[in-house]
Amino acid sequence: MKKKILSVLLCTAMVASLAVGCGGNKNSDSGSGSSDKLVYWSMWEATEPQGQAIQEAIDAYTKETGVEVDVQFKGRTGIREGLESALKSGTNIDMFDEDIDRVNGTWGSYLMDLEQLAKDNDYEKTANAGLIQACRDVAGGTLKSIPYQPNVFAFFYNQNLFDQAGIKETPKTWDEFLDVCQKLKDAGITPMTMDDAYATCVIGYHLGRYVGEEGVKKIVTEGLWDDPAVLQMAKDIEELASKGYFSENVGKNVWPNGQNVELAGGQVAMYLNGSWLPNEVKATAGPDFKWGCFAYPELGECETNIEGAKATGTESNNFGAQVFAINKDSQKSKEAFDLITYITKGEYDQKLADASIGIPADTTNTEWPELVKCAKPVIETSTNRFSWAVGVESNADMTPSIKENFIKLMAGTLDAEGFVSAMQDAAK
């Protein structure tokens, strides 16, 4: 790969020199960055593990190819607040990165079609096929971004507490999940907790298992809270609450209390969250905390009036990644794609995963960091992608009411019928 990169760059340089000698066009610099450098706006801070690993990769890339890179570590706030205006004004930016949905959604009109570049570089040969397909799906069927730092949203649990309760296998169905919860409770262990920040993800997963993501979106955007699937979901959660499977704090936990104090502190066994969780709580959990992971259980079919609704199983999960994208107006697209390849393949993909306790993007990098190894079976068997909160946040005006009433449902202060009624009132 490296020889290929160098060859491409040498050819590019020769063509460029000929153009200059004949009085060809010169790149103009509009805004920050230098026109003779590859300009990359990064979502990371320079001091973060990801920023440090990426800088190391860039330094090696420049040393090997001679291509200088102007990397500007903007951080999440800087990217989200400044990128669109910069792109709109024509600021010299060749490539940038952020979350898969934000890149392809918020900034989708500025993205270059990467299909040919990916084909020319045989990029997909060792890429995660599910994530590549997800990148195509969110861009309307065309590859316009390249994933790295994969993640998956699932149940993470304390293996030591599972062992204490005599649990040998993780649950795949709702009945099996209820059995696990009861075994934990019988052993004197609180089965699970939740923080307010992730309440919409819990209801999204549960409803999504019954009616799929498109069904969830219809419920939320069209106010279909009287659908039988909503009541069934609420009854399922009411059962968890009535049997004492949620922590007593679930109704008042403000992030990150649930994950940092209750889960990492060994007070509860399970927590629905992303694969970034073990890294976030490692200081509290300590070196002896043994992680496990399983996909949200399959619920089976239930009655629904939503046209086209389809139940989903454990193959459907919220999985995604950070992604790189190239500005459609970039004059250095080949160099940008080569740098993206350099970071997301081989040595530096592994270094990035190790530094951030993340998941490698290159499928040939099979040695995952110890804290996230447990998520490997889940992400590798995820073939249908749910978006964040499985569509529950599709109607921003409704999100606060959904969150408030669902937390009450988990806390046992609102029953299933009361939840449905409250949501119907909120939707009026």
What's the 3-state SS for 394-423? Answer: HCCCCHHHHHHHHHHHHHCCCCHHHHHHHH
Do the two domains 2-151+320-378 and 152-317+386-427 of this chain adopt the same fold?
yes
Distances (CA, A) of 70 to 11, 40, 180, 298, 321: 22, 6, 52, 47, 24
Beta bridge partners, 111, equal 327
CB 176: neighbour CB atoms within 10 A? Answer: 15
> Using the 8-state DSSP alphabet, how is residue 279 labeled?
H
Is 216 exposed, middle or buried, given 0-12, 13-18 or 19+ CB atoms closer than 10 A?
buried
What φ, ψ does residue 214 adopt, rounded to 5°?
-65, -35
Q: How many helices (H) and strands (E) does the chain have?
A: 18, 10
Which pLDDT score is estimated for 118?
98
- The alpha carbon of 10 is separated from its chain's Cα centroid by a whole number of angstroms, namely 37
Residues 352, 150: Cα–Cα separation, whole Å: 11
**CA gap 22, 25 in Å, rounded:** 9
Token representation of residue 203: 């209801």
Q: What residue spans define the domains of the chain?
A: 2-151+320-378, 152-317+386-427
**Cβ density class 15-31: b for 16+ within 10 Å, e for less:** eeeeeeeeeeeeeeeee
Q: What is the pLDDT of residue 350?
A: 98
Residues sharing a CB contact under 8 Å with residue 388, sequence separation 6 or more, in sequence order: 101, 201, 318, 320
What per-residue confidence (pLDDT) applies to 4? 42
Instruction: Give the CB-side neighbour count of residue 18, counting CA atoms within 13 A.
Output: 6
Residue type, 425: D
**Which CATH number does the domain 152-317+386-427 belong to among 3.20.19.10, 3.40.309.10, 2.120.10.30, 3.40.190.10?**
3.40.190.10
* CATH homologous superfamily of 2-151+320-378: Periplasmic binding protein-like II (3.40.190.10)
Whole-angstrom distance, CA of residue 102 vs CA of residue 339: 21
* pLDDT (0 to 100) of residue 19: 36
- Tell me which residue has tokens 């990801």: 50
Distance, in Å, from the CA atom of 364 to the CA atom of 242, rounded to the nearest integer, reads: 46
Amino acid, res. 263 = L
| 3-class secondary structure, 190 | strand
Sign of the CA dihedral 392, 395, 398, 399?
positive
For residue 49, give both structure tokens. 């593990």
Residues 379, 390: Cα–Cα separation, whole Å: 16
Per-residue pLDDT of the chain (428 residues; tens, 9 = 90+): 444 444 444 344 333 333 333 333 333 333 444 568 999 999 999 999 999 999 999 999 999 999 999 999 999 999 999 999 999 999 999 999 999 999 999 999 999 999 999 999 999 999 999 999 999 999 999 999 999 999 999 999 999 999 999 999 999 999 999 999 999 999 999 999 999 999 999 999 999 999 999 999 999 999 999 999 999 999 999 999 999 999 999 999 999 999 999 999 999 999 999 999 999 999 999 999 999 999 999 999 999 999 999 999 999 999 999 999 999 999 999 999 999 999 999 999 999 999 999 999 999 999 999 999 999 999 989 989 999 999 999 999 999 999 999 999 999 999 999 999 999 999 99
- Taking the alpha carbons at both ends of the chain, their separation in whole angstroms is 58
pTM of the model: 0.87
CA–CA separation, 425 and 428 (whole Å) = 5
SS3 327: strand
pLDDT of the residue at 366? 95
Q: How many beta carbons lie within 10 A of that of residue 226, not counting itself?
A: 14
